[in-house]
Structure 1
C-alpha cells in the first residue's frame, strides 16, 4: 500500500517539475541554502544536501519529551526503542542506533558544535540526554555528502542541535526578556517546566539562562497495559553568553554550557527492555554536559569569515547493581560483578571529548567561476574510562577539510575533501597485544547541480568515507585485533530534483517539492558480525531508497506537508548468503494538513503510515497508521494574555496498539496521549 502511494506521489512530483510555473528566481547556491516555508516544515531548495530543519515553532508544537522524538518525522529517520532518553536511539537510513548499542558510530550528533552521544555501550541508548526545550532548531543532514566538515565514517548522517540565544527573547535590543513554559501529557502524567531568562545590558552583550525539569511516570500502551521502564525525570539547564565587538561588530565571542542529569532507581540494566532480565536491575546516574567557546571574525571582506570553536563534552554513567535482581546471580553481588559475562552490569562509564575546529569561509572569483569555499582544520581528543564492556583508552585525531562550491552560471560543482589521522592508545597493557594503533584516511565527494531558472533544479552527488578504528575495539580478542588493522569504507550515490514556485495553482500560493534517490554500500565492515557467528564480520551492506518532501501553502492559510521514505537494505555474510539488512529503515509516509488564521490560530491533522516493519529480533510487524492532532492559539486580542501561546495535542488519537520499528517486542509505543502546553513570554 505504502509503496504504491509513494510511487504515485513521485509521479506527481515529476509532473509538477515538468509544469511551467511562475517561480521564485533565486540563486541560493549549494552552501548558501534557501529555506522556504509553506506549512510547518522548512524545506531546502538549491542544495545537493538531503537536509531537513525542525525549527523552534515545530519543536514547541510537537511537545516531544526527547530530541529523538523531534527528528523521527524526517524521511529515513527511525526512533529506536521508544520515548525515554535512556533507551531511545536515532537511526538514519539504516545506520546509527541498533538493537544492541545506542550507536554504531555512523551518525554524528552535535550540540552547538560539541560532538555528543556516540559511544557503543552495551544495551544503553544513544546517550543523548538533553531536553528539546533547550533548542531553537534541530537540523538533520542525511547521507555522507554533507558530513565532511563534521567527521569521518559518517554514513547515516548528522544531527545538529542549536541552543537558544538571549536575543531570541529580547528582540535583539538591550533589556530583559524571557519565557515560562508549562507542559502536561495525560499518558504517564508527564509534565515539564521550562524557564528562560535573557538579559542584554547593552548592545553587544547578551546573557541567557534556562532551567527545564521534565518528569514522566510509566506510560500506557494502546492495549491499556503499562509500558515498564518508561518513567524518567531529567532536570536540564543551559547557560549562554555572547559578546559582539570590534569595528563594524565584526568579532564575537560565544560561550555555551548545558547539562542534564538522570537519576534512575531500581531500573533494568538493559534499557531496551521493559523489565529486568538476566542482567538484573540497577541504580543508574547519568550526568552529561557539553560546553563550547566560539570566536568568530567576519570583517567586511569576502575572503574572511573565520570561526574557531573549542568544545568539551563529558558524560558519566555510574551504575550500582541491585543485589539479587538477576536470575543469573551466583554468590555475592561482588562475585556477580566480577564475572566476565555479567560484570558489564556493575561498570561505570565515562567518556570525554575535547575538540578544536578552526574554519574559514571565503567568497571569491576566478574568471567565470564564483567560489564559496569552506576550509578548516580540527583536533580531537576522546578519552574513555575502562569498563567491562567498553575498553578504555584515548583517541587522538587530526583532520583537515575543504568544501568548495563553484558556480558557473546555472551550474554548481562542489568538491569536498577530508583527511583524518588517528592514534589510539589503550589504557591497559596486555601481553602480546600492541598498546598503540595509528591509521589515516583520505575521503571526499562531489556534488553537481543545475538550476533551470524556472524554479526547477536537479542535483546529484557521489561520496566516499572511511571509519577509522575506535576505542571500542581496544581489546585482545582476535576480532578486535583484526578491526584495529582496518578502516571501514562506504560510498553513497544520490540523484534528485527540486521545485519551488509561487502562484502555482492559485494566486498567492507557494509550493516546494524535493525528491532524491540514494544508494549506499558499506564494506570492509568492522561494526557488524555475521548472524550466528560473532567471530566473523559481515562482508558488506547495501541500502537504497527514495526520500520525498513537499510543502504547499495557500493565501487562505491552508497548508499541506508531506514526508516519505521507501527503501530496502541487504546484508551479505562472508559465506555469500544474504538477508534483509537488520537495521534498515521502514517504509513510511507522513501527511500533515492544517489551516492558519494569521499568527493567531493553527490547527493541523497529521497521519503517519508505516509498513515493512520489524522488531529488534527481526520478526515482521503489521502495518500501522497513527493520527495526531495539534492546535496552537495565540490570544493576542486578550490584553492580559498578550505574549502567550496555548498548545493542544492528541498523539495516537485512535489509541493504536503497536510496537515501533526496530524496537524490542515488549516495548510498545504509547497509546492515546493528550498534551497541553502554555507559554508566556515577557
Structure 2
C-alpha cells in the first residue's frame, strides 16, 4: 500500500535538519530525501521546486516510456512524439518543439550520468522505464552548480533499481518477474530482475527487459508512428564495501532494432508536408544507448571526508538504413550511423563542518569530459565535432536554527571544435562560464516555510547550433559567432505540511513557487535560407510563471492536484514558440480493501497561441487505474494492474509538439510476481 506521507514528500520537498536528527511524526520521517539537490543528509531543505516520482507512483503509471512518467510532473512537457523513440522534454518553456538541440537547457541524468543526444527528428532520451525506481525533477537552474552549466530549465534525474529494492528483509536474495501489454502504442513486454546480497559488504543486481513495439494510433484509428522494433534491455550493478572504502560498478544498455521503422519518430511519415514531399521514409534503424560507471568511494569516520571518484562512459547510437519499401525512401543525407560518445571523470568530496547549534555541509568537486560526436554520413544537418569541458564547483549548505542558506559557484571551461567534415567553417568556440547561486529557506512554524533563490546560469551553444547548415529542405549558413545564453532566475515560494487537519492521522501539504527568468542572448532557430545562419542570438527573452502543488491523505483516500503556468516573450513582445500549455492536473486514489486500490488522473490544459501557426486548442485527458495485490495465501507477492489512458479517446495536440495528434486510448495490463 502506498503511504500518504510519500505523497506529502513529493509535494513538500522540505524538511528541517532537526527533523532528520531526532524522532518526528511519521509524515516528516517519510519525507524522502531529494538525492540530487545536494547532500542526502540535508538536500530536502534545499529551497527549490522539486517533484519526486517514487516506485509506488511508477507502479501506478505502468509507463511505456519515460514520457509517460514526466507527463505527470508539473512544469514538464513532452516535446517529442507519441512513440517510444520520440521522447524529448520541455521544463518551464526551455526545450524547443522536437528539433535538434531541443534539450540543451535541461540536464538529463541516469544514475548521475548525463545523457544528451541530438539528431534531426530522432528523439533525445532512450530509457527502459521498468529499470527505474525513482525520478526526480528539479525545476529551475538551482542545480547547475552540481550537475553542469546551462541547466536553465532544470534537471531530470533518473535512478535505477538496486539490490535492496528487490530483497526482502532478512533474506540474501530476491527479485521480480513482470509481464505487460499495452494497446497504444502496441506493446508486449516482459522483464526479470534479481538482487543478491550474500554478505553484508557485497550486493549485486541483474535485470533484463524485453519490449516488442508496434504502431501508435491516433484517436481516429490511423497509424501515426511506426516503431516496429524489438528492444532488449540490460542492467548490471554491483557494490563491494571494504572497510572505509567501497567500489561500485554498473552497466546499462538499451538496444532496439527497428524493421521498416519511421525515420521521423516524432510525427511519423507526414506525406505532403511540403509540396511534392512523399514522406520521411521508413528504415531498419538501430538505437543503442549505453552507460557504464566505475565508482571508488572513501568514507572514514572523519566528518571532513566523504569522497568519491567516478569514471564513466556513455554512448548513444542511431544507425539508419533504408527499409524494404521503395515507395518510402529515407533521404540519403539522413542515413548512416551517428554516435555521441562521452567520457567523464569526476571527483567530489562532502565535508561535514557542522558545529554547535548549526549544520553545515560543503561539497567540492572537479570534473573533466570529452564528447565525440561522429557520423558515417557527411550531412550538414548533423555536423561532427569534439567538445571538451573542465569544471570546478562548490556548494555550501548551512542550516542554522530555522534558517537554511545554500550558496553555490561553478566555473566551466569548454572548447568545441568542428571536424574536417564540417566545410562551412573551421572556427572553434572556447567559452568560460561562471555560475553563482544563492537560496534561502526560513521555517516560520513547524508547518509553514518560505523560501527564495537567485541564480545566474550560462548555456554554451551546442554543436548543432554552431555548425548546422541544413535541416530538411532548408539550407542555411553555420553560426560560429553565437554567444552563450545567460539566464538570471529568481524564485520565491511558500510551503505548508500538517497533520490531523480533519481527522486523526490525516496529512496535507501545499507548495507554491513563483519564478522569473530573464535570458540575454537567447539562441533561436531562424529557418532562414543561405547565407543567413541557422541560429542567432536574440537580445532578450523573459519567462515567468509558477507552480502550485497540493495533496491530502486520510481515510484511505489520497488526493493530489497541481497547477503549472508559464509565459514567455522576446524583447519585441512576441510570444516564444517553446511555451507549453498551462495545466491543471489532478489525481485521486482510494484503498478500497487491503488488496484493492482504485484511482483516476486528469489533465486539463489551456489553449496556447503559437507564433506563425494556428492556435493549439485546450484539452482534457482522463486516465483510470486499479491495482490488486493479495496480502495472504499462495498469491501473496502477486500484483495485477489495469490502466486506461485517455479514456475518452480525446484528439489533442500539446503546445510543445511540432504536430499531432497525441495517441488515442491506451489499455494497459501488468502482472508482477515477487520472489
Q: Work out whether the TM-score is over 0.5.
A: yes
* 2:437 counterpart of 1:451: no
CA offsets per residue over residues 298-330 of structure 1, 9 Å max, x none? 223322221222211111211123598589x8x
Contact 2:519 2:542 in 1 (8 A): yes
Whole-angstrom CA distance in 1 between matches of 2:367 and 2:26: 29
Q: How does 1:471-490 map to 2 (within 5 A)?
A: 471-473=463-465, 475=467, 479-483=478-482, 486-490=483-487
CA separation of 1:427/1:108 partners in 2, compared to 1, >3 Å: closer, same or farther? same
Residue in 1 that maps onto 2:604: 609
Residue in 2 that maps onto 1:529: 526
Show structure 2 runs of 5+ residues with no match: 1-11, 35-42, 272-276, 470-476
Residue 335 of structure 2, aligned match among 333, 342, 346: 346
Residue in 1 that maps onto 2:260: 266
CA separation of 1:281/1:114 partners in 2, compared to 1, >3 Å: closer, same or farther? same
SS of 2:144's partner is coil
Following superposition, the deviation at residue 579 of structure 1 comes to 1.8
Residue in 1 that maps onto 2:304: 303
* 2:402 counterpart of 1:410: yes
SS of 2:130's partner is helix
Q: How does 1:38-49 map to 2 (within 5 A)?
A: 46-49=45-48
Residue in 2 that maps onto 1:384: 373
Residue in 1 that maps onto 2:544: 544
Whole-angstrom CA distance in 1 between matches of 2:318 and 2:424: 31
Following superposition, the deviation at residue 617 of structure 1 comes to 7.1
Following superposition, the deviation at residue 61 of structure 1 comes to 1.4
CA offsets per residue over residues 341-395 of structure 1, 9 Å max, x none? xx2x124211111112211112214676532211111111111114412221211
Following superposition, the deviation at residue 472 of structure 1 comes to 2.8
CA separation of 1:384/1:408 partners in 2, compared to 1, >3 Å: closer, same or farther? same
CA offsets per residue over residues 73-92 of structure 1, 9 Å max, x none? 11110012333232121111
Residue in 2 that maps onto 1:466: 458
Residue 637 of structure 2, aligned match among 636, 643, 667: 643
* 2:622 counterpart of 1:627: yes
Following superposition, the deviation at residue 431 of structure 1 comes to 8.0
Contact 1:196 1:210 in 2 (8 A): yes
Following superposition, the deviation at residue 242 of structure 1 comes to 1.2
Residue in 2 that maps onto 1:681: 674
Contact 1:617 1:664 in 2 (8 A): no
Residue in 2 that maps onto 1:513: 510
Contact 2:79 2:95 in 1 (8 A): no
Residue in 2 that maps onto 1:359: 348
Following superposition, the deviation at residue 563 of structure 1 comes to 1.7
Superposed CA RMSD in Å reads 3.0
Residue 593 of structure 1, aligned match among 581, 588, 610: 588
Residue in 2 that maps onto 1:370: 359
- Number of equivalences: 631
Following superposition, the deviation at residue 568 of structure 1 comes to 1.1
Whole-angstrom CA distance in 1 between matches of 2:106 and 2:625: 31
Contact 1:208 1:239 in 2 (8 A): yes
Residue in 1 that maps onto 2:9: none
* 2:121 counterpart of 1:123: yes
Following superposition, the deviation at residue 56 of structure 1 comes to 1.3
SS of 2:178's partner is strand
Q: How does 1:102-113 map to 2 (within 5 A)?
A: 103-113=102-112
Residue 584 of structure 1, aligned match among 579, 586, 592: 579
* 2:189 counterpart of 1:195: no
Whole-angstrom CA distance in 1 between matches of 2:29 and 2:179: 28
CA offsets per residue over residues 388-433 of structure 1, 9 Å max, x none? 1222121111101111012222112211100001122322177895
Whole-angstrom CA distance in 2 between matches of 1:351 and 1:430: 17
Residue in 2 that maps onto 1:154: 151
Q: How does 1:496-507 map to 2 (within 5 A)?
A: 496-507=493-504
Following superposition, the deviation at residue 613 of structure 1 comes to 3.6
